[in-house]
Copies of this chain bind each other. A is one copy, B any other.
Amino acid sequence: MDKTVADLATAVADIESGIALMVGGFGGSGAPIELIHALIDRFKATGTPGNLTVINNNAGNGRVGIAAMIDAGMVARMICSFPRSADPRAFTEKYLAGEIELELVPQGTLAERIRAGGAGIPAFYTPTSYGTNLADGKPTAEFDGHVYVQERWLKADVALIKAELADPLGNLTYRKAARNFSPLMAAAATTTIVQASRIVELGGIDPEHVVTPGIFVDRIVEVADARQEEALMREGVAYA
Protein backbone atom coordinates (compact mmCIF):
# COMPACT_ATOMS: atom_id res chain seq x y z
CA MET A 1 0.00 0.00 0.00
CA ASP A 2 1.62 3.20 -1.16
CA LYS A 3 -0.54 6.26 -1.70
CA THR A 4 2.25 8.30 -3.27
CA VAL A 5 1.75 9.54 -6.81
CA ALA A 6 4.46 10.76 -9.14
CA ASP A 7 3.55 14.37 -9.74
CA LEU A 8 1.02 17.13 -9.25
CA ALA A 9 -0.68 16.58 -12.60
CA THR A 10 -1.33 12.94 -11.73
CA ALA A 11 -2.59 13.91 -8.31
CA VAL A 12 -5.38 16.07 -9.70
CA ALA A 13 -5.98 14.26 -12.99
CA ASP A 14 -9.42 12.85 -12.21
CA ILE A 15 -11.12 15.77 -10.49
CA GLU A 16 -14.43 16.31 -12.25
CA SER A 17 -16.45 19.40 -12.99
CA GLY A 18 -19.36 20.28 -10.76
CA ILE A 19 -17.98 18.72 -7.60
CA ALA A 20 -17.63 20.07 -4.08
CA LEU A 21 -13.96 20.78 -3.44
CA MET A 22 -12.57 21.45 0.00
CA VAL A 23 -9.29 23.36 0.09
CA GLY A 24 -7.24 23.43 3.28
CA GLY A 25 -5.72 26.59 4.67
CA PHE A 26 -6.60 29.74 6.52
CA GLY A 27 -5.55 32.63 4.38
CA GLY A 28 -2.16 31.57 3.05
CA SER A 29 -1.33 29.39 6.05
CA GLY A 30 -1.75 25.81 4.89
CA ALA A 31 -3.00 26.70 1.42
CA PRO A 32 -2.01 23.91 -1.02
CA ILE A 33 -0.90 26.34 -3.69
CA GLU A 34 0.83 23.81 -5.95
CA LEU A 35 -2.16 21.45 -6.01
CA ILE A 36 -4.47 24.34 -6.81
CA HIS A 37 -2.18 25.59 -9.57
CA ALA A 38 -1.97 22.08 -11.03
CA LEU A 39 -5.76 22.07 -11.14
CA ILE A 40 -5.74 25.45 -12.88
CA ASP A 41 -3.21 24.11 -15.41
CA ARG A 42 -5.54 21.22 -16.14
CA PHE A 43 -8.53 23.51 -16.49
CA LYS A 44 -6.65 25.73 -18.90
CA ALA A 45 -5.60 22.73 -20.99
CA THR A 46 -8.88 20.80 -20.93
CA GLY A 47 -11.69 23.01 -19.62
CA THR A 48 -12.09 20.63 -16.68
CA PRO A 49 -12.81 20.91 -13.79
CA GLY A 50 -15.18 23.85 -13.86
CA ASN A 51 -18.41 24.75 -12.09
CA LEU A 52 -16.82 23.94 -8.74
CA THR A 53 -18.20 24.54 -5.28
CA VAL A 54 -15.12 25.48 -3.28
CA ILE A 55 -15.10 25.20 0.52
CA ASN A 56 -12.41 27.17 2.36
CA ASN A 57 -12.36 29.64 5.22
CA ASN A 58 -11.65 32.47 2.78
CA ALA A 59 -12.17 33.18 -0.88
CA GLY A 60 -8.66 33.81 -2.10
CA ASN A 61 -6.12 36.56 -1.90
CA GLY A 62 -4.32 38.34 -4.72
CA ARG A 63 -4.04 36.44 -7.99
CA VAL A 64 -2.82 33.04 -6.82
CA GLY A 65 -4.36 29.94 -5.27
CA ILE A 66 -8.15 30.05 -4.85
CA ALA A 67 -8.20 33.62 -6.18
CA ALA A 68 -6.57 32.38 -9.37
CA MET A 69 -9.15 29.58 -9.65
CA ILE A 70 -11.86 32.21 -9.40
CA ASP A 71 -10.09 34.40 -11.95
CA ALA A 72 -9.86 31.41 -14.27
CA GLY A 73 -13.63 30.95 -14.06
CA MET A 74 -13.54 27.52 -12.42
CA VAL A 75 -15.61 28.40 -9.34
CA ALA A 76 -19.40 28.64 -9.37
CA ARG A 77 -19.90 28.83 -5.63
CA MET A 78 -17.91 29.52 -2.47
CA ILE A 79 -18.76 28.21 0.98
CA CYS A 80 -16.66 30.22 3.42
CA SER A 81 -16.69 32.38 6.52
CA PHE A 82 -14.60 35.33 5.43
CA PRO A 83 -14.41 36.21 1.72
CA ARG A 84 -12.23 39.23 2.41
CA SER A 85 -8.47 39.47 2.35
CA ALA A 86 -5.65 41.92 1.79
CA ASP A 87 -6.40 41.74 -1.94
CA PRO A 88 -9.90 40.28 -2.42
CA ARG A 89 -10.40 41.44 -6.03
CA ALA A 90 -10.92 38.02 -7.60
CA PHE A 91 -13.90 37.06 -5.46
CA THR A 92 -15.28 40.57 -5.00
CA GLU A 93 -15.50 41.32 -8.71
CA LYS A 94 -17.26 38.05 -9.54
CA TYR A 95 -19.55 38.31 -6.53
CA LEU A 96 -20.66 41.86 -7.23
CA ALA A 97 -21.20 40.89 -10.87
CA GLY A 98 -23.43 38.02 -9.75
CA GLU A 99 -21.08 35.49 -11.33
CA ILE A 100 -20.30 33.53 -8.19
CA GLU A 101 -22.56 32.29 -5.41
CA LEU A 102 -21.69 32.67 -1.75
CA GLU A 103 -22.79 30.60 1.22
CA LEU A 104 -21.52 32.49 4.24
CA VAL A 105 -21.01 30.30 7.32
CA PRO A 106 -19.69 31.37 10.72
CA GLN A 107 -16.14 30.09 11.07
CA GLY A 108 -16.76 27.77 14.00
CA THR A 109 -19.89 26.40 12.39
CA LEU A 110 -17.97 25.84 9.17
CA ALA A 111 -15.32 23.89 11.07
CA GLU A 112 -17.91 21.89 12.99
CA ARG A 113 -19.97 21.11 9.89
CA ILE A 114 -16.87 19.77 8.15
CA ARG A 115 -15.91 17.83 11.26
CA ALA A 116 -19.45 16.38 11.36
CA GLY A 117 -19.15 15.38 7.72
CA GLY A 118 -16.04 13.37 8.45
CA ALA A 119 -17.47 11.90 11.65
CA GLY A 120 -20.81 10.67 10.29
CA ILE A 121 -22.89 13.18 12.28
CA PRO A 122 -25.60 14.38 9.88
CA ALA A 123 -26.68 17.33 12.03
CA PHE A 124 -25.90 19.07 15.31
CA TYR A 125 -27.03 22.04 17.34
CA THR A 126 -24.95 25.13 18.01
CA PRO A 127 -25.58 28.42 19.80
CA THR A 128 -23.73 30.21 17.00
CA SER A 129 -25.82 32.45 14.74
CA TYR A 130 -29.02 32.03 16.75
CA GLY A 131 -31.14 35.14 16.30
CA THR A 132 -29.07 36.38 13.34
CA ASN A 133 -29.61 36.55 9.59
CA LEU A 134 -27.32 33.58 9.10
CA ALA A 135 -29.80 31.32 10.94
CA ASP A 136 -32.69 32.31 8.68
CA GLY A 137 -34.65 29.24 7.64
CA LYS A 138 -32.72 26.86 9.85
CA PRO A 139 -34.50 24.67 12.43
CA THR A 140 -33.98 25.61 16.06
CA ALA A 141 -34.49 23.66 19.25
CA GLU A 142 -34.34 24.39 22.95
CA PHE A 143 -32.07 22.47 25.28
CA ASP A 144 -31.85 23.24 28.99
CA GLY A 145 -33.52 26.61 28.47
CA HIS A 146 -31.29 27.84 25.65
CA VAL A 147 -32.16 27.93 21.97
CA TYR A 148 -29.77 26.48 19.41
CA VAL A 149 -29.60 26.34 15.63
CA GLN A 150 -29.51 23.03 13.80
CA GLU A 151 -26.66 22.76 11.31
CA ARG A 152 -25.99 20.03 8.75
CA TRP A 153 -22.78 18.18 8.02
CA LEU A 154 -20.64 19.38 5.13
CA LYS A 155 -18.87 16.87 2.92
CA ALA A 156 -16.95 17.16 -0.30
CA ASP A 157 -16.00 14.99 -3.23
CA VAL A 158 -12.36 16.01 -3.08
CA ALA A 159 -10.12 17.78 -0.55
CA LEU A 160 -6.81 19.41 -1.44
CA ILE A 161 -4.53 19.54 1.60
CA LYS A 162 -1.04 20.75 2.39
CA ALA A 163 0.92 18.76 4.93
CA GLU A 164 4.42 18.94 6.32
CA LEU A 165 5.33 15.24 6.56
CA ALA A 166 3.54 12.30 5.00
CA ASP A 167 4.34 8.61 5.04
CA PRO A 168 3.25 6.24 2.26
CA LEU A 169 0.09 5.29 4.18
CA GLY A 170 -0.90 8.95 4.30
CA ASN A 171 -0.22 9.66 7.95
CA LEU A 172 0.30 13.41 8.12
CA THR A 173 1.76 16.17 10.23
CA TYR A 174 1.32 19.88 9.61
CA ARG A 175 3.50 22.91 10.11
CA LYS A 176 2.51 25.34 12.89
CA ALA A 177 -0.85 27.06 12.31
CA ALA A 178 -1.03 25.63 8.80
CA ARG A 179 -2.99 22.77 10.37
CA ASN A 180 -6.28 24.73 10.71
CA PHE A 181 -9.06 23.12 8.60
CA SER A 182 -6.95 20.45 6.90
CA PRO A 183 -7.42 17.53 9.33
CA LEU A 184 -11.18 18.12 9.23
CA MET A 185 -11.33 18.33 5.46
CA ALA A 186 -9.19 15.23 5.02
CA ALA A 187 -11.90 13.30 6.88
CA ALA A 188 -14.87 14.96 5.19
CA ALA A 189 -13.92 14.38 1.56
CA THR A 190 -14.42 11.22 -0.45
CA THR A 191 -10.98 11.64 -2.01
CA THR A 192 -8.27 13.48 -0.10
CA ILE A 193 -5.25 14.61 -2.06
CA VAL A 194 -2.22 15.83 -0.16
CA GLN A 195 0.83 17.80 -1.09
CA ALA A 196 3.48 17.11 1.52
CA SER A 197 6.68 19.04 1.94
CA ARG A 198 8.42 15.74 2.58
CA ILE A 199 7.43 12.10 2.18
CA VAL A 200 9.14 9.94 4.76
CA GLU A 201 9.35 6.17 4.94
CA LEU A 202 6.83 4.11 6.89
CA GLY A 203 7.67 4.56 10.53
CA GLY A 204 9.18 7.97 9.84
CA ILE A 205 6.40 9.68 11.79
CA ASP A 206 6.05 8.87 15.48
CA PRO A 207 2.56 7.33 15.95
CA GLU A 208 2.05 9.78 18.83
CA HIS A 209 2.65 12.76 16.52
CA VAL A 210 0.39 11.81 13.63
CA VAL A 211 -2.24 14.53 13.27
CA THR A 212 -4.18 13.07 10.33
CA PRO A 213 -4.17 9.26 10.30
CA GLY A 214 -3.73 7.77 6.83
CA ILE A 215 -7.26 6.36 6.77
CA PHE A 216 -8.39 9.85 5.77
CA VAL A 217 -5.87 10.22 2.94
CA ASP A 218 -6.02 8.82 -0.58
CA ARG A 219 -3.18 10.32 -2.57
CA ILE A 220 0.09 12.05 -1.71
CA VAL A 221 2.50 14.03 -3.82
CA GLU A 222 5.74 15.52 -2.57
CA VAL A 223 6.21 19.25 -3.14
CA ALA A 224 9.50 19.99 -1.47
CA ASP A 225 9.67 23.65 -2.41
CA ALA A 226 6.07 24.64 -1.72
CA ARG A 227 5.36 28.36 -1.95
CA GLN A 228 3.35 30.46 0.47
CA GLU A 229 0.27 32.27 -0.84
CA GLU A 230 1.15 35.32 1.23
CA ALA A 231 4.66 35.50 -0.24
CA LEU A 232 3.40 35.03 -3.82
CA MET A 233 0.79 37.71 -3.26
CA ARG A 234 3.43 40.13 -2.00
CA GLU A 235 5.56 39.34 -5.06
CA GLY A 236 2.58 40.27 -7.22
CA VAL A 237 2.35 36.87 -8.90
CA ALA A 238 -0.80 36.30 -10.98
CA TYR A 239 -1.28 32.63 -11.80
CA ALA A 240 -4.53 32.48 -13.70
User: Which positions in A face B, CB cutoff 8 Å?
Assistant: 112, 116, 119-127, 141, 143-144, 146, 148, 152, 173-174, 176, 207-209
Contacts and interface: CB of A to CB of B under 8 A. Distances in A.
Given A143-B152, A209-B208, A125 B122 contact: yes
A121 B151 CA distance: 11
- With most chain B CB atoms within 10 A of its CB, the pick from A122, A144, A148, A209 is A122
- How many copies, total? 2
Contacts of A123: 124-125, 141, 143, 148
Nearest to A141: B123
15 contacts: A120-B126, A121-B124, A121-B125, A121-B126, A122-B125, A122-B146, A123-B124, A123-B141, A123-B143, A123-B148, A143-B152, A173-B208, A176-B208, A208-B209, A209-B209
Contacts of A119: 112
Contacts of A116: 124
Closest 7 CB pairs of A and B: A124-B124, A122-B143, A123-B125, A121-B124, A122-B125, A209-B209, A122-B148
A184 B213 CA distance: 18
Contacts of A126: 120-121
Given A123-B125, A143-B152, 8 more contacts: A120-B127, A121-B126, A122-B125, A122-B143, A122-B144, A123-B141, A123-B143, A124-B124
Contacts of A173: 208
Nearest to A148: B122
A133 to B, nearest CB: 21
